[in-house]
Structure 1
Amino acid sequence: MKHVIGLGFATAFAATMVFAEPVDPTAVVYEDGAVAVSLSGQAGDPDNGAILMNKGSGNCIACHSVEALSHLPFHGEVGPPLDGVADRWSEAELRGIVANAKVMFDGTMMPAFYKTEGFTRLGDAYTGKAHADGSVQPLLTAQDIEDVVSFLVTLKEE
């Protein structure tokens, strides 16, 4: 009977993890800038996180240098180097920083990657016009945030 109950609990727990809904950008709970729970309800993929560090709406290396990605060109110097970032910040803090660094660091130049409201004069790409329907999508999805964070937690001092 123990195995049946244990299996039932494990199945129920796994189902909640697999089918968890992403946290809406307007519902993210920041505690001193940190976000304790996965925004997607899923574990992150560090390999995809490494890709996002260089491409698309992430493009973290445009501002930050990352030795683990030294094979990629054009690392920036605007933000601090990300080498050893997992030794300086917890996973929850990294999630909060990637989602909206402005919560932790007032006045930072880092974009809010998981924010959809509260902007001033937000334009629609390079059109010079405001968003037509008023809706704004975050720069990264909840799963993208989790993927980037899962890559960042691998960046420890050696």
Structure 2
Amino acid sequence: MNRHVVLAAAAVTLATGVAFAETAPTEVQFEEGAVAQSLTGQPGNAEEGAKVATTRSLGNCVACHQVSSLSADFQGNIGPALDGAADRWSEEQLRGIVVDAKHTFEGTVMPGMYKTGPFIRPGDEYTGKAAPADLPPILSAQQVEDVVAFLLTLKE
């Protein structure tokens, strides 16, 4: 009986087109720096976003930003403190800032976290020649949504 329910649910999902497609980095639509649509169609996970914010091999947001609620060993002061971010910016604005802050803050040094180019390309293993393939985004679309969910918890 359960197998029939699962098969029926899968058929309804496919028939109604409920399956969500991830927005590619080159397809992200900005409007005045904000990104209105979720990149995944799925809600972000604030706990996973906090992990991304504090993990060196991921977003490592705390290398440049201070977040009082996080217990990271070192927190930077290059970027603005993120305490109260949810009071200063909307979800759409935060998504745009995380995807590529240069659409909001001209001249910022914050890297585009969900961007594949154009970049000033690093040399490939000290040859001085640009790497042969496109650089992948720093974060996945779901990681962006997770970071946005985390930032939305940061209220004064």
Are the counterparts in 1 of residues 86 and 152 from structure 2 also a CA contact under 8 Å?
yes
Q: 1:152: which partner in 2? A: 151
In structure 1, runs of 5+ residues without a counterpart are 1-10
In structure 2, runs of 5+ residues without a counterpart are 1-11
- Distance between the aligned counterparts of 2:120 and 2:101, measured in 1? 17
2:68 is aligned with what amino acid?
Answer: E
Asked if residue 119 in structure 1 is aligned to residue 119 in structure 2, the reply is yes
- Distance between the aligned counterparts of 1:116 and 1:123, measured in 2? 16
Q: 1:63: which partner in 2? A: 64
Within a 5 Å distance, the mapping from 1:3-152 to structure 2 comes to: 16=17, 19-55=19-55, 56-69=57-70, 71-123=71-123, 127-128=125-126, 129-132=129-132, 134-152=133-151
- Identity among equivalent positions (%) equals 51
2:144 is aligned with what amino acid?
Answer: I
Cα deviations across residues 97-122 of structure 1 (Å, max 9, x unaligned)? 00000111111010001110211233
Q: Secondary structure at the match of 2:97?
A: helix
* Deviation, structure 1 residue 37: 0.7
Q: Which moved more, 1:56-65 or 1:114-123?
A: 114-123
Are the counterparts in 1 of residues 98 and 112 from structure 2 also a CA contact under 8 Å?
yes
Are the counterparts in 1 of residues 121 and 131 from structure 2 also a CA contact under 8 Å?
no
* Deviation, structure 1 residue 40: 1.4
* Deviation, structure 1 residue 57: 2.6
Q: Secondary structure at the match of 1:68?
A: coil
- Distance between the aligned counterparts of 1:77 and 1:27, measured in 2? 32
Q: Secondary structure at the match of 2:101?
A: helix
1:135 is aligned with what amino acid?
Answer: D
* Deviation, structure 1 residue 16: 5.0
- Distance between the aligned counterparts of 1:123 and 1:113, measured in 2? 20
* Deviation, structure 1 residue 131: 1.9
Normalising by structure 2, we get a TM-score of 0.84
Would you say how many aligned residue pairs link Structure 1 and Structure 2? 142
